[in-house]
Amino acid sequence: MFELKTYQKNTLTALNQFLQSCRSVPISDAFHAMLATQNRSGERYQPVFDDVPCVCLRIPTGGGKTVLAAHAVALAGKAVLDSDSPIALWLTPSDTIRSQTLDALSNARHPYRQALAHYFGDRVQVCDLESLQTISPHDVGKACIVVVATIQSFNVTDTAKRNVYSFFEELAPHFDNLPANLTANLEKVTEADLQNQRYLTAADIGRVKYSLANWLHLRQPVVIVDEAHNNRTDRFFKTLGRLNPSCVVELTATPVAGNNVLYHVSAQELKAEQMIKLPIVLAEHPEGWRECLRDAVLTRDGLELTAQKETDYIRPIVLVQAAPKGNEATVDVVRQHLIEQENIPENQIAVATGSQKELEGINLFERSCQIRYVITVEALKEGWDCSFAYVLASLQSVRSAKDVEQLLGRVLRMPYAKQRQQDALNKAYAHIVAENFAEAAATLKDRMVQNMGFERLETGALIIPQQPLPLTGGQGGSTPIAPVIPDCHIEVPQMPDTQHWPEEIKAAVQIRVTTQGATILLKGNVDSDTLAQAEAFISKTLPEKARIAVKEQFDAHRAVRQALRAPAQLGLNFALIPQLCLQLDGYLEIVEKETLSSIGDWDLLDQPVQLAGFTIRESINSFEIDVNGQQVKYRHIDAQQLKLNDVVSHVSEQDLVRWLDLEVRKPYVSQLQLQAYLLKMLSHLIHDRGLTLTTLVRARFQLAQAVSREIERLRQLAMEKGFQGRLFEMSVPPADSSVYYSFEFQAGMYPARQCYQGSYEFSKHFYPVIHDLREKTGAGKTAEEFQCAQAIDAHPMVKQWVRNIERQEKFSFWLPTSSDYFYPDFVAELTDGRVLAVEYKGEPYKTNDDSREKKQVGDRWEKSSDGRCLFMFAVAEDESGRTVFQQLAEKLI
How confident is the model over 280-298, as pLDDT tens digits? 898 889 889 999 999 999 9
Average pLDDT over residues 773-801: 89
Pairing between β-strand 742-743 and β-strand 577-578 as defined by DSSP bridges: antiparallel
Average pLDDT over residues 265-286: 90
Inter-residue contact 628 to 704 (CB < 8 Å): no
Q: What is the chain's mean pLDDT, rounded? A: 85
| pLDDT score, position 694 | 84
Q: Could you give the CA distance from residue 443 to residue 553 in angstroms, rounded to a whole number?
A: 12
Q: Is 513 helix (H, G, I), strand (E, B) or coil?
A: strand
181 or 68: which leads in pLDDT:
68
* Percent of the chain surpassing pLDDT 90: 40
Residue in 380, 376, 382, 412 with CA at minimum distance from that of residue 394: 376
| pLDDT score, position 642 | 42
Q: Could you give the CA distance from residue 462 to residue 769 in angstroms, rounded to a whole number?
A: 9
Inter-residue contact 693 to 653 (CB < 8 Å): yes
| pLDDT score, position 641 | 39
| pLDDT score, position 229 | 65
Inter-residue contact 151 to 243 (CB < 8 Å): no
Q: Which amino acid is at 601?
A: D
Average pLDDT over residues 559-575: 89
Q: Could you give the CA distance from residue 324 to residue 594 in angstroms, rounded to a whole number?
A: 60
Q: Is 881 helix (H, G, I), strand (E, B) or coil?
A: coil
Give residue 646's pLDDT band: very low, low, confident or very high (50, 70, 90): very low
Inter-residue contact 860 to 730 (CB < 8 Å): yes
Pairing between β-strand 373-376 and β-strand 835-840 as defined by DSSP bridges: unpaired
In this model, does residue 713 exceed pLDDT 60? yes
**Sign (positive or negative) of CA dihedral 501, 505, 508, 512:** negative
Inter-residue contact 132 to 215 (CB < 8 Å): yes
157 or 567: which leads in pLDDT:
567
Q: Could you give the CA distance from residue 359 to residue 374 in angstroms, rounded to a whole number?
A: 9
CA 159 to chain centre: 37
453 or 891: which leads in pLDDT:
891
| pLDDT score, position 618 | 55
CA 21 to chain centre: 21
Q: What angle do CA 343, 344, 347 make, to 5 degrees?
A: 140
Q: What angle do CA 12, 14, 15 make, to 5 degrees?
A: 65
Give residue 524's pLDDT band: very low, low, confident or very high (50, 70, 90): confident
Per-position DSSP letters for 559-621, written without gaps between them: HHHHHHH-TTTTT--PPPEE--EEEETTEEEE--HHHHHHHS---GGGSPP--TTEEEEE-SS
| pLDDT score, position 639 | 41
In this model, does residue 472 exceed pLDDT 50? no
